[in-house]
Amino acid sequence: MKKEWFDQYWNDMEVPQEELNQAITNGIRSGKQSKRKRKRLKLTTIISSAAASLILVSGLFFSPVTEVLAKVPLLNLIYDEVTTSVGSELFASDLVTELDETATDNGVNVTITSAYYDNHLLGITFKAEGDQLSAKNMDKDNGPEPGYGYYLFDGKEQNQLSGSMSGLKKTDDGFIGAMEFYQPNQSISNDFTLPITFTSILGEKGTWRFDIPIEKRPADKVVIEGETTTKTGSYSLIMNSITKGNATTILDYKTIRPKGGKNDHINIDVFDDDGNRLSKRNIGEILSIEEKSGRIQVQERSLFTSAIDTNDDYLMIYPEVSRDEFDTIHPIQQSPFEVESKRFGYKIVVNKVLKQNQHLIIDYYIKNVDAKSYKKDIFQNFADQIKLIRSEDVISNGDGQDQYENLKEDSLILGKKGKVINQEELHFQSRFKFDNPEKFTMNDYSLMVPFRIFGMNDSIEMKPVKVYLPNQ
């Protein structure tokens, strides 16, 4: 090949520069997001660079790239701009189902463009088109914040799934969006469809209903062994299984707590054998609770939006306990008087109770709390969260923890921002305002004191546990 001929051929070649730049950008982004390939990334990058050079010289590069871009240009944009990390990784691995289902109402077309499923997570992407649609209506008063409204199944609250939704993003061909839902407790069937009804798009009311087919992809569930406890033995964690998805990981485990710890939170941080932290989607979903021999046994599940690399030999799990209790309720008495946590030993000493015009002021000191163990905003939050409750609405649930139910309109009174009198002495005031002060009788109310704020922020570390993974 003569150099002059090659130069002429190269200079005359029409290069779709915009498509080329977008393809390169997408490739770089996909490489950054693909944690599952991290151990082979350096070698793969070198090979890919060499291969790209050869393809460019041969003149065969543009045909396949143009074909791919023509096939899914909209999905490329959606999965780059508005979907979650799980959706993006599944799309990069060609594990999403491309769809083209359209519903029309009031001059607006809504089209479902793709769907995916991985380890209890299911997602959909869509586009909306219509001459009357405008981004100006995104922040329209009383409209849904993302710019659209919808419901799943029959619309009943108990049948809705928790999840996340993107805002609408304007494109040359309309607006695009994405949603992701968590299907708890059970896996979907092979012929599962997700019924969804859109009720508004950028202020335009209508009904756009779909039964979206969700392709179930197999997940690999492995039984594992591992157990850890706190130093006192009050808490235990026993690993049961790991379910490995294409872009996610599920850990199932049992926690054992003391009787008063039913509402405690045992958070787990998980790292692979390279020290990479798995990204967590939810914190300890409760599958079942039972009491045995005076202890509470809780079956739990945590979902991580990170996949386990096939070369990983083990996981390191770091559990941490945050203790909780219901707000301590105590009737307002002639000062001074004390209110003490039934579980933690924290207490407040109420120095004065003052009624000034429309306000009730509770002046108190926080005791049995190590001031150096907490940031100032924790104390401020505590002072802000003290409430008043009408004493006649307080009931006992039989285990020493007072509760309340069937509250009247004026039963619960929230305080205004707490006031710091002396930070070093932990001296604070909580203030309450009444619309009808002449009808307010101090003796009719009790204090609700949130000692749980200190318990939740004084976590207990459990011993880490190393869980070996079967040969993958």
pLDDT digits (tens, 9 = 90+) for 139-151: 666 567 889 999 9
Question: Is the CB of residue 275 less than 8 Å from the CB of residue 268?
Answer: no
What confidence category does residue 467 fall into, taking pLDDT thresholds of 50, 70 and 90? very high
> Is the pLDDT assigned to residue 21 strictly greater than 90?
no
pTM, 2 dp: 0.76
DSSP 244-271: E-SS-EEEEEEEEEEGGGTT-EEEEEEE
| CA separation, residue 246 to residues 16, 93, 221, 381, 470 (Å) | 33, 9, 12, 41, 17
Q: Which of 52-56, 296-300, 336-340, 376-380 has the lowest mean pLDDT?
A: 52-56
* Closest among 294, 111, 284, 322 to 208, alpha carbons compared: 111
| Domain residue extents for the chain | 35-71, 74-213, 220-325+458-468, 328-450
Beta bridge partners of 164: 180
- Are 74-213 and 220-325+458-468 equal in CATH topology? yes
> Is the pLDDT assigned to residue 156 strictly greater than 80?
yes
- The rounded distance, in Å, linking the Cα atoms of 275 and 256 is 27
- The rounded distance, in Å, linking the Cα atoms of 216 and 212 is 12
CATH class of 220-325+458-468: mainly beta
User: Does residue 470 have a cis peptide bond before it, meaning omega lies within 30 degrees of 0?
Assistant: no
- The rounded distance, in Å, linking the Cα atoms of 451 and 378 is 11
> Is the pLDDT assigned to residue 26 strictly greater than 50?
no
Mean pLDDT for the stretch of residues 188-205: 93
Tell me the pLDDT tens digit for each residue of 328-369: 999 999 889 999 998 999 999 999 999 888 889 999 999 999
Q: Say if domain 74-213 classifies as CATH 1.10.540.10.
A: no
| CA separation, residue 310 to residues 31, 244, 281, 402, 468 (Å) | 17, 10, 21, 51, 13
